[in-house]
Structures are given as C-alpha cells and as structure tokens.
Structure 1
C-alpha cells in the first residue's frame, strides 16, 4: 500500500479508549478517545530506534492521555519513549496533549502557531471569533474556552520550552520518512499537511471530508473559502496514494483521495450556492442562513458550527453580493 507494507494485526479493532492500525512495521495510526468529544483524534506514530515520534498528539485530558499511553504500550513503546511531537495545527483535539508532552521532547508547530499553544484561549477565539457572536447573539454567553479545556485538555505550553516553527516546504525527518510541510489554510489559518513523497502518504488532518465529522469546517480568519479551495488544489496536485485523517479512517488509493478532495470542494461550493439562493429569495436572518449549511442536530453537538455560515455571509457582504440591515441579510444583485 503506497510503498508502505500493511501489517494490520489489530486492524482498527477498538480496545477500550483507543484503537490502532498498523500501516507498516514502523508506522501506526492510533485513535485516542476523549470523554465527550464528537470523534476520536488520530495520532500517527512513527517508530524508530530512539523511540517514537507523533504526528499530532490528540487530547490532553486525563483519559485522552491514558488512551495515548495505552495505545503506545500496545505497539511496544511507552509514553516516555516519545521524543518528537509534530503538530498539523493548534486545535486542541489535535494538539491538546502538546503541553503535557513538551518536557524533554522536540515540539514542532506550523509557523505562527506557537502563540496559540502558549495561550489556549486563542484557540476558542479563532474557532468562534467575535464576528460570529455578532451574527449569532444567542452564542454570546457560550463559554467555549472552558468547553475546550474540559473536553480537550487545552493548557498552555511551558513558557520556557523551545518550540520549532515549521515553515512551508520544510522537510521534517521522522524515522525512515521525510515529511514535507504543505500549507493548507482554510480549516484553520495555520493548518499544515505533511506529504511523504516516497510513499505517497499525506497527513491531511482536518482538510478533507471524513465520514462522521462536520468537515469541511472553517471560521472567519482561517483564510476563507478561496484559501480552502486553493489548498484542495495544492494537495490534489501531489496525487497522494494514502490519505491519513485527523479523525476517522484512511483514504486508501489515489482514487479514494481524489474523491474526498472533490467532495470537499463540492460541499464548500454547494454551501455558497445555497446561501446565495436563500439571499436572492428575500431577506433572511442569520439563523435561516445557518440551515443552508448544517442541520440543527450538528449545532446541538458543535455550537461553533455557526462559524462556517459566518464565513459565507462575510464573504457575501465583502464582495458586495449582499447587504445587512435590521437583523437580516439580502442580496444586492451585485457580485454574487
């Protein structure tokens, strides 16, 4: 498979709060669970003579750390054997354990993300920024920072800990693999995918549609739909042969990866089309426009889903395709 010999002794079988899937003799996909988070977080474990390196590290909650430790033990390593943590982006369902793991370890984050790991409150602000609360005043009292602390273990990195910032195009060598950093803003302004050219593997984190999640998800400040779609074109040009998600299973084979890229693109375009059509029908409230993006059940699970609608509304306002007034939005007949 993609130049990596599959050895699936545990084949994704769940064991308590974690599951493992061997991708090769030195490569394991670990699914570490948390308490109430909507889906387990994937951690790619690279085994080497010095111990183990992690691409993303999952939840920093007590049971998240227990799941990570148990998963590592199941593949013959201990938590103490981890020497490197490479983060795709600072969202706390992927980097929540970074602070707990930092001592004595090499920590790498996308360029510009260090400040967010230093102050976890910035994660909440990026995911549900003030403009969203202005559009959706019913979210004004939502304490999303405490929510992330409780469910993802969002604590600050030690202030004196050295952190390496990964710039676009940088090559990070972990074990027998060379991972090239591919900037893919959209889901998050700092999202970095990691491409292993020899094997055709792409760690795409939250970039692509994954079954059982609300992806594609994005917020104002993440780069907008234009940046997101450009990121999709960038990874499509790599022609990956194995896609490794931040949640859920694998995309095995170039066809599966291509289908996911196309599906992600279609979802973003379809949301724009549905919101444009709703605005054209007459004045619409933000709550009405939200139903063009996600059903109410999604908002019940992730109340920050409103951020996606806010991106589309903001882009319509900034392009001149819509205008706002008296608590409603309406098409202008302009650039939409």
Structure 2
C-alpha cells in the first residue's frame, strides 16, 4: 500500500500506491540530526494511518530513529488527503504542527472544506451531487479528528515567507493559492529541494485541480508563474514520483500551465460551435468515471466558466445554457494557443 523511496540519503518519500479515492498523499521524512521532520500526513483513517505509521517507523529505523523522534509536522495545505492524519500523528509523536495560516479553518470545521471544495455554485449545476454532503464525507471518511478538537497539540501558523530549518534544508514557505486557498510550497533555494504539494500535474490523478473558491484558474496560473521563477531542482510532489533536474521541473510547470489553458481552449471551442449545457462542458474537463468518485471534480469546470465570464468571453443564459462572445473568444484563443515547436 505504501512504497518507500529514498530520494536523498536524508530524505524519504512514503508513496501511497492506491489511487482510488479516498487515498493519502505522498508523505516525506527529513532526517534532522537526532530527530526527523514529516511533510504532510495523509488521511486520518484506516488502513491509511496504520500503514503510514508502519512505513514511517521502518524508514526511520534506518536512521536509528522511531516515530517519537518526529519533532515537527509541516503541512503544504489542509485538504484531508494531506492533513487528515495530523492530529493522531501529532499525539503519537509529540510533534509540533506547522500549517498555512489560512488552512486552519478547513482543518477545524468541515464546512470550510465543503465551501472550498464543492461550493453551492457547483452543486447547483449537478443533479448527482446536489444532495452530496461533502462536509460529512470529509469528516467521516478522511479526517475524523479536527484541529479545533485537539487542544493538546501544538499548532503553529505559517505565513508566506516564513522559514524553517529541516536538517540541511532551509525551507521557506511560498503561498501558492489556486489548488487550495491556503496552499504553500516549502522550498530550499540553496539546494533547490521543494515540497510542492498539489501544484504540478501528476499522471494518473485529477491534478491539476483548482476550485473557484480557492483561487480558481487565475490564482492557480499566478501561483504556477511564481513557482516557475524559483530554482527548483528536486520537486517532491503530493502525488506521483519526484521530479529531478531544473529543466525537468521547469518543463513540468509549463506543462501544468498549458494543461490549464487547454481546458479554456476546449470549453471555448465547444461554445463557439453551439450554446451548451453545463453537463456537456463538464465532460470536456473530467469524465464521468472521475466525477463518480469525486463529485468535486466539477468545481474546476465552474472555475473556468466563472473566469471566462468575468473576462467577458462567456455568459450563462436564463435557460442554463452557456454561450460565448465569438470575436472576444477567438482573440483569446489565439493568445493562449500552445507555442509552435
């Protein structure tokens, strides 16, 4: 269930091999002298939590350490596949938890998970998800122990620009909203090591994913541009394998950016052909097989339509059909066309 990958002698990836939701993110361990730092925690339910503890204990033993030697948990964001296991792991290890300041609300109250992940604007468009209680699902199936219920855990809130020393890595927090309103990447500018969370496209996942209430398309593109300016040589993502080489990482940032713009292109091409219902447009972003497992996949479609509407390119008619403004749409499509190779 969990594959242990030695990234560097002092850096280990605990990679979940199960892809079907709910499943945990990648978790990282950093050797820090007599202790260790954990980056993200995965889900807070079984079998994920127990499997993570077993895998982490085995990896730490190679450094002559145990779970109790984890002194800090760093979070990239507080989606439950990244932070669901935080409270039980903090209690088991005694670790201090450092999380993005804007991530507290989602980790303390499932209402805010629902607000950011599957907002009512999205549910309005979806017959199948109209009555889906995402808050209850997240609490029951992914994160039973909320931060607000853990007064015994030492939580520290992190702002953009804050620094933390983890072994030989001097990590700086970069606020990169879009996938999540609170999303940060932990980056060491000297070594080029970066814990990028869910910023980059990952094969076999729904990424890139960016709901309208978490930064949406514009926020995500701005964050990709900011990440692309950093000298990242080793990207440690929340899902999939690590990416080595400054050119490899730069190419991945560009590929993720193009994947986002290609979704705009697909939606506008369809709307230039004919006014379309949301369900038709939704199929252009994610297939029914993905939406059947994670109804909030459709939040990305709404994020695109909201941004295109704000730009004067798309409008929603009273009958619910979407249509494009042809001349403006055609100009925009020329501007975002992929570069010729």
TM over 0.5: yes
RMSD, matched Cα: 2.0
Deviation larger for 79-88 or 157-166? 157-166
CA contact (8 A) 1:34 1:61 kept: no
Deviation larger for 173-182 or 146-155? 146-155
Q: Which residue of 1 aligns with 2:32?
A: 48
How many angstroms apart in 1 are the aligned matches of 2:67 and 2:196? Answer: 24
CA contact (8 A) 1:47 1:53 kept: yes
CA contact (8 A) 1:211 1:248 kept: yes
How many angstroms apart in 1 are the aligned matches of 2:283 and 2:127? Answer: 16
What stretches of structure 2 of length at least 5 have no aligned partner? 330-341
What is the TM-score normalised by the length of structure 1?
0.89
CA contact (8 A) 2:110 2:136 kept: no
Correspondence 1:59-78 to 2 at 5 A: 59-75=43-59, 76=61, 77-78=65-66
Correspondence 1:273-312 to 2 at 5 A: 273-312=265-304
Question: For 2:252, which of 260, 275, 287 is the aligned residue?
Answer: 260
What stretches of structure 1 of length at least 5 have no aligned partner? 1-16
Displacement after TM superposition at 1:239 (Å): 2.7
Deviations 1:59-79 (A, max 9, x none): 111222211211122121433
Question: For 2:168, which of 166, 169, 176 is the aligned residue?
Answer: 176
What is the TM-score normalised by the length of structure 2?
0.88
How many angstroms apart in 2 are the aligned matches of 1:33 and 1:153? Answer: 20
Deviations 1:84-121 (A, max 9, x none): 11100010001111121233321111121112211134
Q: Which residue of 1 aligns with 2:319?
A: 326
Deviation larger for 279-288 or 147-156? 147-156
How many angstroms apart in 1 are the aligned matches of 2:191 and 2:288? Answer: 41
Question: For 1:101, which of 85, 89, 109 is the aligned residue?
Answer: 89
How many angstroms apart in 2 are the aligned matches of 1:162 and 1:72? Answer: 21
Q: Which residue of 2 aligns with 1:148?
A: 138
Deviations 1:114-150 (A, max 9, x none): 1221113421331101110112233111122333334
How many angstroms apart in 1 are the aligned matches of 2:67 and 2:135? Answer: 27
Deviations 1:140-181 (A, max 9, x none): 111223333344234311353442111111111112211111
Correspondence 1:90-129 to 2 at 5 A: 90-103=78-91, 104-129=94-119
Q: Which residue of 2 aligns with 1:229?
A: 221
Deviation larger for 17-26 or 186-195? 17-26
How many angstroms apart in 2 are the aligned matches of 1:180 and 1:28? Answer: 19
Displacement after TM superposition at 1:326 (Å): 0.6
CA contact (8 A) 1:37 1:152 kept: no
Correspondence 1:133-212 to 2 at 5 A: 133-157=123-147, 158-160=149-151, 161-212=153-204
Q: Which residue of 1 aligns with 2:338?
A: none
How many angstroms apart in 2 are the aligned matches of 1:328 and 1:214? Answer: 26
CA contact (8 A) 1:37 1:151 kept: no
Q: Which residue of 1 aligns with 2:333?
A: none
